[in-house]
Amino acid sequence: EKGTAKSTAVRSLAALLPEIKVVADCKVGCNPNKKQEMCQECIMRLDSGEELPTKKRKTRVVELPVGSTEDRVIGTLDIEQAIKKGDKRFEPGILAEANRGILYVDEVNLLDDHIVDVLLDSAAMGVNIVEREGVSYSHPAEFILIGTMNPEEGELRPQLLDRFGLCVNIEGIADLDERVEIVKRWASYEEDPSGFHQLWRSEEESLRDRIIKAKEILDEVTISDDMLYLIADIAIDLNVDGHRADIMMMKASKTLAAFNGRREVLKEDVQMAADMALQHRMRRRPFQKPGIEEETIAGIISHTHSHRHEYVHTHTHEHAKR
C-alpha cells in the first residue's frame, strides 16, 4: 500500500548495518583484504608494492532514481584522456557508489528496460563494465538490491522479479491504538528529530549488535536433510518454477537461525523464510491478492513432517527386519 513507510524503512537500514573496511582513497570502496574484489587501480597499486591506506565507514544505502541515465548508473570514461594519454580516467556512477552496500530503487517496476538489463548484468557478475569507443573499464559491483513498488502501478519484469531473493507485502495498520501511536511518533520526530533519535538509540544499537553477532555465527549454522526435504516439498506443493526459490529458502532459514542466536535451522525458520522467498514467485490468477496465506505453508509443513517421519520410521523398521 502507499504511504506505509516503505522507503523510510529501507533508508533506515544504514543506521543498523555494521561498518566496513575500505581502501581509504578508492572511488569504489574496495575491500583491502581481498584482491579479487578490487578495482583496476587498487590492483595496480597493490602489484607495484604500495601499501593501500584503509579506513572504516558506514555501509551505504545508495538510491537509484527511476529516471537515471545509463551514464549515471554505470559511470563514465574520459575518452579524450584515454586516447591521448592512455589514462582510463573513470568517473564513478551509482553502481560504484553502491559497491559493498545497498542499492535502493523506489518504484522499481517503473525502471527503464535498459537500466533493468544493466542491473541484471551487474547483479549476475558482481562486476560493472564500462565500454566506450573501444576503451573498457571494470570495477566490482557487489550490492544488495532492494526495491519498493505499488503493484497497481504496473508489474515488475519477470527477469528482475526472480532476482529478488525475498519479498515482503506491506499493508496499512487497521488497529486503532497502533495508528494513533504512528501519528504520535511522527509528530515527536517532526518536533525534535535529534531527541527522537536519542530516544530510540539504545534499541537501535541493540538491533545492530544482534545483526553483528548473527554475521559472526552464520557460517556455523547447519541445516539438516529433514529441513532440506521440507524446503523442496514446499516448493513442489506450491508449484514454484525453477530451483532458485529452494536456494533462497535455505539461505534465509540459516540467516534467521543466526539472527535468533541458533546454530541449527528449525521448522519455524523454514516457515518464515518460505513466506518471504515464495510469495513473489507464485503463479497468480487475475485479480488474486499477492502473498501466501500463513495457514497454507503451515499446513504443508505439518503434512510433510508427519509424512517424512512415517517414511523414516517404516524404512528403518524394514531395514531392521532384514
CA 48 to CA 52: how far, in whole Å? 11
Of the residues 11, 163, 210, 244, only one is catalytic, namely 244
CA dihedral sign, ordered 37, 40, 41, 44: positive
CA 86 to CA 82: how far, in whole Å? 4
Q: How is residue 258 written as a grid cell?
A: 543466526
Q: Which of 159, 128, 135, 133 is nearest to 64 (CA)?
A: 128
Amino acid letter, residue 189: Y
Characterize 6-29 residue by residue with b for buried, 16 or more Cβ atoms within 10 angstroms of its Cβ, and e for exposed: beeebeebebebeeeebbeebbbb
CA 193 to CA 188: how far, in whole Å? 8
Q: How far is CA 171 from CA 55, 106, 271, in A?
A: 40, 17, 20
Residues 6+ apart with CB under 8 A from 79: 132, 133, 135
Q: Which of 268, 233, 266, 273 is nearest to 250 (CA)?
A: 273
Cell numbers 582510463 correspond to: 88
Amino acid letter, residue 151: P
CA 290 to CA 282: how far, in whole Å? 8
Strand 101-106's sheet: what is its strand order?
61-63, 101-106, 143-148
| 72 included as an active-site residue | no
Amino acid letter, residue 293: E
Beta carbons of 117 and 76 less than 8 angstroms apart? no
Active-site residue numbers?
244
